[in-house]
A = this chain, B = another copy of it.
Amino acid sequence: LSETSRVVIKRDPYNAEAPLPALADPITRPASHYVRSNFAVPTLDHAEYALQIDGAVAEPASLSWATLSALPRVDAVMTMECAGNDRLGMRPVPTGEPWDSGAVSTAHWRGVRLRDVLATVTLAHDVTEILATGADSGPRDDALVPGPVTFARALPLAVAQHPDTLLAMEMNGAPLPPEHGAPVRLIVPGWYGMANVKWVVRLSALREAFTGYFHQQRYVYEQAEGVTPVTFARVKSMITAPSEGARLPLVGCTVRGWAWSGTAPIAGVDVAVGGGDAWQPATLGPAPGAHAWTPWWLELPAPPEGRLTLRSRATDADGRRQPETVPWNRLGYGNNAVRPVTVHIGP
């Protein structure tokens, strides 16, 4: 858990984001990929590992590491964003980890399809959700139910059975590092990070909506109008170059970054040079994977000497557009608002 490859948000439990330079690459190095932990990082031994499958199934099962490993392996390059990414940009600043813009990363995951794992048991006909439970737990002062809380998140059955929903065992060609969920973690394309349960030790087939701590008291948009669950990642873009506060020469530069949406491919990115409403279209490059961010860039001709704001906004193929502001919610999730980057142009 190097000091230099990530920016530590909280030491205990370990929460750290990707430094901006690490986000220049299409695939983030695992040592820089953001890490969100709700509790201390568990250390699980592959040899002793077992995945319990229970709940509304004909017969509970326990899958060893060897059994899991024997299932067909598939790949997914996926951009994952913490639901709390850019919480620091919300006003008032909500409670919760003070994530800046680095709680988003992209990795090449390899593992087995969750549906192949579920196919090793017989699900009841009326199963609606698959609950994934991690090996991480601890106390929570505000828990409605007494005793320690364990990280657990449920997925709708259709999402659990999506061919790209994986139990990942490898990250960028190597076994999962402990902080990324070793030995296995969920990979759920398009959903915010909380759905990608790490250190998965149990899958439970449920007949009704799960109502645990991380569904009811966290990962919900709490607004005056009501409470709604946090699910898919909202359409968003970020500027990776130039960086905030950069001093640039008078000859111009290239503005570049990434754009992503949990629900559709990226259709376009606009860039505004200066305040106001002067948006111009950026060029899009190929995404490094079906569920990964799309690169974009715009050549910026020589601007006048002084301070300059740069903004980007993404639009996805379903017509969803990244907004300039988002409605505030108490726990500070889903901030996909346009974020200005300020640079200094000078000799």
Chain A residues with CB under 8 Å of chain B are: 7-12, 15, 87-88, 91-98, 100, 274-277, 304-309, 311, 324-325, 332, 337-338, 340, 342, 344, 346
* Known contacts A88-B309, A309-B88, A93 near B275 by CB under 8 Å: yes
Instruction: Tell me the bound Cα distance from A15 to B307 in angstroms.
Output: 10
Instruction: Tell me the bound Cα distance from A87 to B94 in angstroms.
Output: 22
Q: Are A100 and B342 in contact (CB under 8 A)?
A: yes
Q: Are A8 and B305 in contact (CB under 8 A)?
A: yes
| Interface hub of A12, A93, A94, A340 (most chain B Cβ within 10 A) | A93
> Shortest distance in angstroms between A70's beta carbon and chain B's nearest beta carbon?
41
Residues of B within 8 A of A10 (CB): 304-307
- Residue from B8, B92, B309, B337 in contact with A325 in the complex, judged by beta carbons closer than 8 Å: B92
Closest to A96 in B: B275
9 residue pairs, one from A and one from B, having the closest CB atoms: A95-B276, A11-B305, A92-B324, A10-B306, A93-B275, A95-B275, A91-B325, A9-B307, A98-B307
**This protein's copies in its complex:** 2
What is the interface of chain A mostly: helix, strand, loop, or mixed?
Answer: loop
Q: Are B9 and A98 in contact (CB under 8 A)?
A: no
Q: Are A275 and B94 in contact (CB under 8 A)?
A: yes
Residues of B within 8 A of A94 (CB): 275-276
Residues of B within 8 A of A344 (CB): 7-8
Instruction: Tell me the bound Cα distance from A88 to B96 in angstroms.
Output: 25
Instruction: Tell me the bound Cα distance from A309 to B338 in angstroms.
Output: 21
> Shortest distance in angstroms between A77's beta carbon and chain B's nearest beta carbon?
29
Closest to A3 in B: B346
Instruction: Tell me the bound Cα distance from A337 to B337 in angstroms.
Output: 18
Closest to A337 in B: B91
- Residue from B304, B337, B340 in contact with A88 in the complex, judged by beta carbons closer than 8 Å: B340
Residues of B within 8 A of A12 (CB): 304-305
> Shortest distance in angstroms between A293's beta carbon and chain B's nearest beta carbon?
23
Residues of B within 8 A of A324 (CB): 91-92
Residues of B within 8 A of A309 (CB): 88, 93, 98
| Between-chain CB contacts (< 8 Å), 9 pairs | A7-B344, A8-B305, A9-B306, A9-B307, A11-B304, A91-B324, A92-B276, A93-B275, A95-B274
Residues of B within 8 A of A91 (CB): 324-325, 337-338
Q: Are A98 and B304 in contact (CB under 8 A)?
A: no
Q: Are A87 and B346 in contact (CB under 8 A)?
A: no
Instruction: Tell me the bound Cα distance from A7 to B245 in angstroms.
Output: 12
Q: Are A342 and B98 in contact (CB under 8 A)?
A: yes
